[in-house]
Amino acid sequence: MITINQVQFFANLRLTQSYCQHQLEQKEKVEWTRLQSMINPYYKDEEWFVYMPGLPNERPILWIEWANKSDPYHHDSFVELFRKQIELKQSTSDALNHDIACLGRILVVEYGENIPDGALQVETEGFFDEWDLPPIDTWFYNDYSAERGGILFTWIPEEFIELVSKAIDIQFLGILHWFKSPPHWSSQRFQLA
């Protein structure tokens, strides 16, 4: 059982919805790679993510979210990365349209319980990375306890729901599932597809 700070949850969700919508409108990028934004923080003076482009006029081969030198399951590193990506979204907030309807669903990733095998990366053509995490632009709320590790809440825009549903079915430990709003929460605070 986790306790969610609803004020922070909804503020980060709305920010992330607007940010993802903005990124998806960037037509020069291909499909889901639009959700792999300029967020590429440095850790120990090295970039965390590596982009491997395809040949000219072809779609990208892979976006490797976690460079070999970083471990997303190291709690301090993950928390720092999460904090930085929220800060980047906040720094662009004035340029975002927060009034648009953003349809989609909230995905919960219990990454503290995971043993990644790379299957999701292959089956989703890179939407999920080798650590079974969705694109960083979709992340909006993170919780952690020493007993169970981390739980990440992510915003999945409507056009990727079918792909993510496939990932939920494939992931062998059941660490991915759609968020169900607690009965005492107002469903008017967010829109779900």
Please tell me which residue, 35 or 189, carries the higher pLDDT value: 35
Q: Which two tokens stand for residue 92?
A: 């662009």
Average pLDDT, the chain: 77
Which of 61-65, 97-101, 156-160 comes out lowest in average pLDDT? 61-65
Interatomic CA distance for residues 130 and 96, integer angstroms: 30
Q: Cβ(109)–Cβ(176) under 8 Å?
A: yes
Please tell me which residue, 48 or 171, carries the higher pLDDT value: 171
Please tell me which residue, 180 or 116, carries the higher pLDDT value: 180
Q: Residues 15-25: what's their mean pLDDT? A: 88
Per-residue pLDDT, 61: 44
Q: Which two tokens stand for residue 34?
A: 């639009």
Per-residue pLDDT, 6: 87
pLDDT tens-place string over residues 126-175? 788 777 888 888 999 998 777 777 889 999 999 999 999 999 999 888 88
Positive or negative, the CA dihedral 110, 112, 116, 121 is: positive
pLDDT above 60: residue 119: yes
Inter-CA distances, 61 with 28, 50, 74, 162, Å: 16, 11, 27, 21
Per-residue pLDDT, 107: 96
The pLDDT confidence band at residue 187, using thresholds 50, 70 and 90, is low
Q: Residues 103-130: what's their mean pLDDT? A: 84
Q: Residues 105-117: what's their mean pLDDT? A: 85
Please tell me which residue, 156 or 99, carries the higher pLDDT value: 156
Of these ranges, 24-38, 62-76, 92-106, 174-188, the one predicted with the greatest mean pLDDT is 92-106
